[in-house]
Structure 1
Amino acid sequence: MIFALGLAGCSTSGSNADDPNSERAQQTAEAQKRITASELTAFCPTVTIREGTSVLTSYGKADKTPENLVFQASISNQTRSCQSNDTTMTMNVAVAGKIVPGPKFAPGTITVPIRVAVIQGTDVLYSTLHKQAVSASDANAATQFVFNDSAVSFPKPTAQNIQVFIGFDEGPETASKGKSKPK
């Protein structure tokens, strides 16, 4: 008898789980609208840390010796997500990195130059140099940071021939558009 009463308490009669107007049903429907199968299988260019740009070393005003090292920054991971319409692809590009203090390190805000560039053949479709501020307060431990550029936008490619590069760049603010590659 107790077992039967326990089962009766588990009954789903009167539940709104099957009601299409219930809050849960509406949340499920909204989630299903957000991502379509074509979006899951759509082309989203990979992000590559450009060779020679994964490490940034800063020295004091003296010689570039280990004793004069202020900090060394490095990029360790990268990721991206893509959205597109009939004419434009927009990417959110992100990297994770860390700053390791050196003997001449002083706690404070360190600004690291990070460039995001989109290349199609020899054409530069997008190139932006960001100044990422990182608060580093511990002279005895590495400080991790995350950077993202959510506004990477360019004409939707008709072929899978897009390269996306990211890395530290101490070069000029702007890269020329057209037939050159960013540094």
Structure 2
Amino acid sequence: MGVPLKTGGLFARSLVMGLALIAASCQSSDNPTRDVPDMAKPPVVRESELRAYCPGVSLREGTSYFSTYAKGGDGDATKVIYQASLSDTTRACTYEGDNVTIKVAAAGKVVPGPAVRPGTITMPIRVAVVRGSEVLYSKLHQQQVPVSDTTAATQFMFTDADITIPMPPQRNVSIFIGFDEGAKK
């Protein structure tokens, strides 16, 4: 026992609209190459690149969040200018000769506090590449984020694409990203 279809109902109108869209997309054009998808060759990935080692990246414990206070307001919740956090991290490696170049990235968010004003804020983000206790790379970045809406969070992406190290003979290299406030005054 089937369900009768009403020709004046929502189903019929949807069917007519769908058929009209299909007919419109089948019309020919004056430019025959306009509708042809881009058939660019995909990049060739060598087997050595598939087997190559790309060190993992993570947030260093205790450095994934950062708070800034108005002058003299450290620890006072009413004096918070903003709070920032870093979350998801990723990396990509390219290989040339005996070196590996690593591009790392982290997603971040800035949440305005009671003392925020519109403008650009600067956050200290450090990237460190280590093998045991040996530091292979360390750089402090000054990440700038424009904050125009003082009532909502602002998302940002942090990227460091300038990491080049010798290809590690063992898979024992780690990459860390985190806020670095420096030595306490």
Q: Report the TM-score when normalising by structure 1.
A: 0.75
Give how far 1:103 is off. 0.2
1:47 paired with 2:73, answer no
Equivalent position to 2:70, from 56, 60, 76 = 60
Q: Deviations over 1:127-160 (max 9, x none)?
A: 0000011001111000000010101111110100
Aligned equivalents of 1:104, 1:93: Cα separation in 2: 32
Aligned equivalents of 2:155, 2:43: Cα separation in 1: 35
What is the aligned partner in structure 1 of residue 119 from structure 2? 108
Bigger Cα displacement from structure 2, 99-108 vs 35-44 = 35-44
Q: Helix, strand or coil: the match of 2:50? A: helix
Bigger Rg over Cα: 2
- Which amino acid in the other structure matches residue 155 of structure 1? P
Aligned equivalents of 1:51, 1:89: Cα separation in 2: 26
Q: Deviations over 1:58-103 (max 9, x none)?
A: 0111332111111000001110000112311110000110000000
> How many percent of aligned residue pairs carry the same amino acid?
48
Q: Helix, strand or coil: the match of 1:53? A: coil
What is the aligned partner in structure 2 of residue 143 from structure 1? 154
Aligned equivalents of 1:86, 1:66: Cα separation in 2: 52
Moved segments of 4+, more than 2 Å? none
What is the aligned partner in structure 2 of residue 122 from structure 1? 133
Q: Report the TM-score when normalising by structure 2.
A: 0.75
Structural RMSD (CA): 1.4
Give how far 1:41 is off. 2.9
1:152 paired with 2:168, answer no
Aligned equivalents of 2:161, 2:80: Cα separation in 1: 33
Equivalent position to 2:104, from 90, 93, 96 = 93
What is the aligned partner in structure 1 of residue 7 from structure 2? none
Aligned equivalents of 2:76, 2:43: Cα separation in 1: 56
Structure 2 unaligned regions, length at least 5: 1-37
Aligned length: 145
Give how far 1:56 is off. 0.4
